[in-house]
Structure 1
Amino acid sequence: MNYRAKYVSAAILTSLIFFSCKKEIIKSVPKTDSTSIKTEALKADSTVLNPTDSLYNLVDKSVIGTQFLTKSSLAPRLKKLLGTDYDQMVKTWNTETPFEKQDNILHAWGCKQHDCNSFSYDLYIDVKSNKINIYKFAESKLTIFKEDDFNIEIKDAFLKDLDIKKQNAEIKN
């Protein structure tokens, strides 16, 4: 091969290598809004590594808004604890109070919209012991669900609230 043909071949080969290694250029950016980005980020971050830290972040937040009953890391435990009553609780948890904290206890309350006397639930979480108790008020009957038969000590304002609910439902202590 002559000298000129070698250089032309080398130039063609170099060009082919250069263009084959070229990075792909994104020609269009997907259209999205900040809400969907936040939603996707929350889905990705939904795994709870340290339940104690994340549970305290629930204070003043809505059970429905946080999807605590259905999408939290504790949802499988709630389902196991309540058994067949779980679906009913999720369905009738329409009117609610946000999570409150007293010492190491978190509390939230929810009931059937426009019919709190028929179905209401008090959810207690002992963050220190990592145990759940649920008090179900249904048609003047109280049923207490205790995770691992652990009795969360309810006191002060939470106890006063619970006693008022028992009186209203005409349930004896």
Structure 2
Amino acid sequence: MSERAKYIFVVTLSCFTLISCKKEVIKSVPATDSTSIRMDALKVDSAVINPTDTLSSLVDKSVIGSNILTKSSITPRLKTLLGSDYDQMVKYWNTETPFIKEGDILHASGCKQHDCNTYSYDLYIDIKNNKINVYKFSKSKLTVFTEDNFRIVLKDSLLKYLSTKKINANIPKEK
């Protein structure tokens, strides 16, 4: 094949390539107002509009499997709530219980694999009030992280579970 034939072949191929790439033309821009744009943004994260929508679906699911700690709308809130303890919680959330729901409260717990007595966490989410509490058990010490200073009131089996966990972790009774 001569140089001229190669040149014509390349030019022809390039033209076909350019012609086949169709440029999309926007015929009209939908008329919206700032309210509808805001609502569309909120629909993506229904936990913002109505926490009950997405949070109630977590029942019987694992924290790790649902990516609540690392890739959810709650993740930034957990980072803010826990501060420097957030990375440790993610690191040591190995052995876990699935989410349970009692009333308007979701609960799950996780701990360091093979060492639950040293590092253990309980995550409580109040669906009605859209607040989070994290209880950190570390070396016989309990630290409670409350979002907006809102302490979730635990009742029935959740309260009993927490009391048993405090006894097992050698946490002194509150007066």
Where on the TM-score scale, by shorter chain, does this alignment land: which range? 0.7 to 0.9
**1:52 deviation in Å?**
1.8
Q: CA RMSD in A?
A: 1.9
CA distance in structure 2 between the aligned counterparts of 1:92 and 1:52, rounded to whole angstroms? 28
The match for 2:135 is 135
The match for 1:48 is 45
Please list every run of 5 or more consecutive structure 1 residues that lacks an aligned counterpart in the other structure: 1-20, 25-45
The match for 1:77 is 77
Please list every run of 5 or more consecutive structure 2 residues that lacks an aligned counterpart in the other structure: 1-18, 23-42
Q: Aligned pair 1:59/2:69, yes or no?
A: no
Q: Aligned pair 1:107/2:107, yes or no?
A: yes
CA distance in structure 2 between the aligned counterparts of 1:47 and 1:112, rounded to whole angstroms? 33
CA distance in structure 1 between the aligned counterparts of 2:74 and 2:20, rounded to whole angstroms? 48
TM-score, structure 2 as length reference: 0.72
TM-score, structure 1 as length reference: 0.73
The match for 2:98 is 98
Q: Aligned pair 1:118/2:124, yes or no?
A: no
Structure 1 residue ranges, 4+ long, deviating more than 4 angstroms after superposition: 21-24
Alpha-carbon contact 1:121-1:134 (below 8 Å) kept: yes
**1:51 deviation in Å?**
2.3
CA distance in structure 2 between the aligned counterparts of 1:104 and 1:69, rounded to whole angstroms? 20
Alpha-carbon contact 1:101-1:107 (below 8 Å) kept: yes
The match for 2:29 is none
Change (3 A) 1:172 1:23: same
**Higher Rg:** 1
Alpha-carbon contact 1:92-1:112 (below 8 Å) kept: yes
- Note the alpha carbon deviations across 1:72-113, whole angstroms, 9 max, x for none: 100000000000000000000000000000000000000000
CA distance in structure 2 between the aligned counterparts of 1:100 and 1:166, rounded to whole angstroms? 19
Number of matched pairs: 133
